[in-house]
Amino acid sequence: MQGVEARENRNGFKVFRLHYTADPVKATPEWFNTTRPGMPEDKWEQEYEINFNVLHGKRFYGEFNYEDHTRSLKYNPNLALLRGWDFGYHYPAVIFAQIDLNDRLLILREEQGQDEALINFAKRIVKITGKEFPGCKIKDFADPAGKQSTDKSERTSVDILKTFGIRPHMKKTMKDLGFNIIRNLLIKKHQLPDGKETPRLLVDRRCGILIDGFMGGYHYKETREGKLDSDDPDGGGYYEHAQDALRYITIALFKVDGSVYRNIRPFFRKRESVNSVTGY
């Protein structure tokens, strides 16, 4: 039913989300055009869009819309699995994704640790991959900084991943490139045979950290003068890790306009197959 969602999160809690569009009267352009004008953006987001992350500041990805960009997604074993890694002891993160035959980026799962050494986190990711994505072809992506050693250890993050047979692709580039790619994927649509359109980037509704980041947890910093700093988004030390992991995937596989690099299509597709999105 439109506007109604019931799910169980990874901690076993039941979550019920009731959006205003569940009311047929409010699910019309006429109601929106009458109600939305004149209401401050933060009030609208809190009261109608169920978004309390606006308290953090202006959303970095204002193009993201929960109703449009989230789905219940299904893993397709005929397509390669893409894993984006963000290193760090406090909140290491991995994003699991696939690119379907319509060149849509589908975010299937997220995993984020807390105060966890990479060797333990990597063990957990390997276990999750084998259990939830059996028999898949895998391609990994990570931050080029993972090649650097620290004063705490001579082994780099990449060295640790290699002990698990993981050799991530790393592409050094400006952050803005990744930001712009993600924005274009959020904006652009793919037209289905029945004429309906879907965004080029879809997130499974179980990915709470990534979604909360899109909804405002990942936001523009403010300078001392109260102006927005467009160069350095802020995730409060928590939300940026999943966002970074996603960015490492996009900068390797997509052009700035959101189109897929033709020469890399073979390594993330195994053979002709159906789409991964349930019902789409």
226-234 LR contacts (CB < 8 Å, sep 24+): 228/57, 228/58, 231/176, 233/60, 233/179, 234/56, 234/57
Residue 36 has pLDDT above 80, yes or no: no
Q: What is residue 63's predicted lDDT score, i.e. its pLDDT?
A: 93
Residue labelled with tokens 């975010």:
107
Give the whole-angstrom CA distance, residue 206 versus residue 184: 23
- Band the pLDDT of 127: cuts 50, 70, 90: very high
Half-sphere exposure in the Cβ direction for 101 (13 Å, CA): 11
Averaged pLDDT, 5-27: 58
Q: What is residue 122's predicted lDDT score, i.e. its pLDDT?
A: 96
Q: What is residue 273's predicted lDDT score, i.e. its pLDDT?
A: 45
- The answer to whether the CB of 5 falls within 8 A of the CB of 72 is no
Averaged pLDDT, 165-186: 92
Give the whole-angstrom CA distance, residue 87 versus residue 240: 11
Give the whole-angstrom CA distance, residue 74 versus residue 108: 7
234-240 LR contacts (CB < 8 Å, sep 24+): 234/56, 234/57, 236/56, 237/90, 237/91, 238/91, 238/209, 239/209, 239/212, 239/213, 240/213
Q: Which of 129, 148, 136, 142 is nearest to 169 (CA)?
A: 142
Give the whole-angstrom CA distance, residue 3 versus residue 14: 17
- The answer to whether the CB of 201 falls within 8 A of the CB of 182 is yes
Residues 6+ apart with CB under 8 A from 266: none
- Band the pLDDT of 272: cuts 50, 70, 90: very low
Q: At what angle do helices 240-253 and 175-187 cross, to 10 degrees?
A: 80
- Band the pLDDT of 69: cuts 50, 70, 90: very high
Residues 6+ apart with CB under 8 A from 238: 91, 209, 217
Burial of 229 by CB count in 10 Å (0-12 exposed, 13-18 middle, 19+ buried)? exposed
For residues 191 and 116, the model is more confident at 116
* Mean pLDDT, the chain, whole residue set: 80
The CATH number given to 69-268 is: 3.30.420.280
For residues 38 and 120, the model is more confident at 120
Residues 6+ apart with CB under 8 A from 92: 85, 86, 112, 113, 116, 118, 121, 241
Amino acid at 176: D
Q: What is residue 213's predicted lDDT score, i.e. its pLDDT?
A: 93
Q: Which of 144, 117, 114 is nearest to 244 (CA)?
A: 144
- Band the pLDDT of 279: cuts 50, 70, 90: very low
- List the chain domain ranges: 4-55, 69-268
Give the pTM.
0.77
